[in-house]
Amino acid sequence: MKKSRIRRKFRTAIISACLGLSLVLLVQAGTALADNDSRWLTPTMINARANMFHPKLNYLLFQNLDKMFASRTVPAGGKIWRLSYSPVSIEGQFEFKGSSYGLEEFLEKISTNALLVIKDGKIVHETYRNGSDETTRFISFSMAKSFVSTLIGLAVSEGKIKSINDKVSDYLPEMKNSGYADNTIRDLLLMRSGVDWKEIYKFGSDTQLTRVHDNSLVGYKYRWCDYAANESKRAGKPGEKFNYSTLDASVLGCILESAVGMTGSQYMSEKIWKPAGMERDGYWIMDGPDSVGREFFGAGFNATLRDYGRFGLMMLNKGMANGKQVVPADWVKESTVPDKGNEPVAEGAPFGYQYQWWTELNSDAYAARGLHDQYIYIDPKNNTVIVKLSYSPSPVGGGADNMAFLQKVSAMLAK
C-alpha cells in the first residue's frame, strides 16, 4: 500500500514538473477544509490543474485526471455486459486537412488515444495508443453532458423530476434571483436558457468560461452552480436562441442532485453503471475537494473506452443494456430526435441539437461530443457505434475531419 501511494505521488510530481510553472498560481480556496482535503490545494496541484490542456502532455493527462483533481467514483456492478468480438478491417484512405492517409497515420494526425467500433452489437475494431489499454479511464469532456441528460430522463421516469417543464428554481431555490429564475429544465436541456454565457475556449486568458474554470476547477474557490446562483445574468428570452453553455449543463447536474437526493455519482452508479453492466468503475472530477466539491457535470466524467461503447450501444438499442431496459425508450427518442426548428441549431450550422446530444443533418445519427475531439457516434441506420478518444492540440480540434472519418467508417461497415 505504501509503495502504491509513493508511486502515485511520484507520478503526480513528474507530471507537474514537466508542465512548467509559467502560470500565476491562484489563491487557495477560502472554504475551511478537512486535513485530508488540503492535499488538493498545494501550489503544485493547483498549477498542474491550470496546465491540464498542455498540448505536449495532454495525451497523458487526459488518461490520468484523477491524479490531479479530487474525484468521485461511479462504482460498476458485478454482472458485466459482455460484448463479443468479430474483427473487421477498417483500413482505407482518410482525409486530414486536404491530404489522404492510411488508418494508422491518420489516427496519429487526428491525435487519437483510443478507438472502438461496434457493429451489430459486436466489437469489430479496438485500438489503444500512447500507453493506454482496456483499463485506462479517459476524460469525456462535454460528452458528459449527454450522460447528464440521460440521468435527467431517468429521474423523470421515476417521478423525482415531475416534468422537464418545471422551473429550475423548483429544485434549486437559490436560483430565484439569478439569470436562471425564469428557466425550465427543458430550456437548459436544449441549450436555450437565454442566460448570458460565452463558451470561449482560451484557457489562461480572461474569458467568462476560463474565469469560472480557473476559480472552480483549478483553484477550488467556488462551485460552478455557485457561480450560476450568484453571478449569472439574463441576455435573452428563455427557449428562443441556441447558445452552447457548460454552465447550463452544470445547473442540470445540480437539479438532478436536488431531485434524487444523492450525489450524481451515486445516482449514475445505481441507475446506469450497475444495471447496464459496465465493466469498470467510472469517476467524475470535481470542482472542489470532497468536503465541498460537486461533480463537474458539464465536462468531468471519465470511463474506459469499452464502457463508453456500452453506453452508446445502450442508446442505439433504445435504452436496452445487459438484457434490461435501463433507460426508457421514449426518453432515448425524445432526447436524440430533434424537435422542429432545432436542426440545424442556426442558419448554416452543420449540426442540430436536442437534449445535450448533437444531431447529424439529414440523418438519424447523433453524437456525444467533447473538447479535444472526444466522440460517441451513434448511427442507427447502420447499427453502428464508434467511440474516439483524443488529445488534439487545440480545444476545438479537428471537428470536420473527425466527423468525416466517423461517417466513413460507419458507411464502410454497412456494405
What is the pLDDT, as a whole number, of residue 28?
33
336 within 8 A of 189, measured Cβ to Cβ: no
Cis bond before residue 344 (omega within 30° of 0):
yes
Model confidence at 106, pLDDT cuts 50, 70, 90, reads very high
Model confidence at 29, pLDDT cuts 50, 70, 90, reads very low
Give the 3-state secondary structure of residue 301: strand
107-117 mean pLDDT: 97
What is the pLDDT, as a whole number, of residue 32?
41
What is the pLDDT, as a whole number, of residue 9?
44
303 within 8 A of 284, measured Cβ to Cβ: no
342-349 mean pLDDT: 91
What is the pLDDT, as a whole number, of residue 4?
44
User: Measuring CA to CA, how many Å separate 405 from each of 92, 97, 204, 371?
Assistant: 10, 12, 31, 17
What is the pLDDT, as a whole number, of residue 36?
62
Tens-digit pLDDT profile for residues 166-221: 999 999 999 999 999 999 999 999 999 999 999 988 887 789 999 999 999 999 99
246-263 mean pLDDT: 98
What is the pLDDT, as a whole number, of residue 258?
98
**370, pLDDT greater than 80:** yes
Cell reading at 278: 459496465
Model confidence at 34, pLDDT cuts 50, 70, 90, reads low
Cell reading at 111: 491525435
Report H helices in 200-323.
Answer: 208-212, 224-231, 246-260, 264-268, 305-316
> Which residue has cell 417521478?
159
Sign of the Cα torsion 284, 289, 290, 291 reads negative
**15, pLDDT greater than 70:** no
Model confidence at 388, pLDDT cuts 50, 70, 90, reads very high
What is the pLDDT, as a whole number, of residue 26?
33
Looking at every residue in the chain, the average pLDDT score rounds to 91
335 within 8 A of 366, measured Cβ to Cβ: no
Out of 300-314, 322-336, 392-406, least confident range: 392-406
Model confidence at 18, pLDDT cuts 50, 70, 90, reads very low
**250, pLDDT greater than 90:** yes
Q: So where are the chain's domains? A: 57-82+118-414
Residue with more model confidence, 291 or 279: 279
What is the pLDDT, as a whole number, of residue 274?
98
What is the pLDDT, as a whole number, of residue 398?
76
What is the pLDDT, as a whole number, of residue 14?
40
Out of 39-43, 219-223, 251-255, least confident range: 39-43
Model confidence at 355, pLDDT cuts 50, 70, 90, reads very high
388-395 mean pLDDT: 95
Model confidence at 154, pLDDT cuts 50, 70, 90, reads very high
The reply to whether CATH 3.40.710.10 applies to domain 57-82+118-414 is yes
Residues of the chain above pLDDT 70, percent? 91
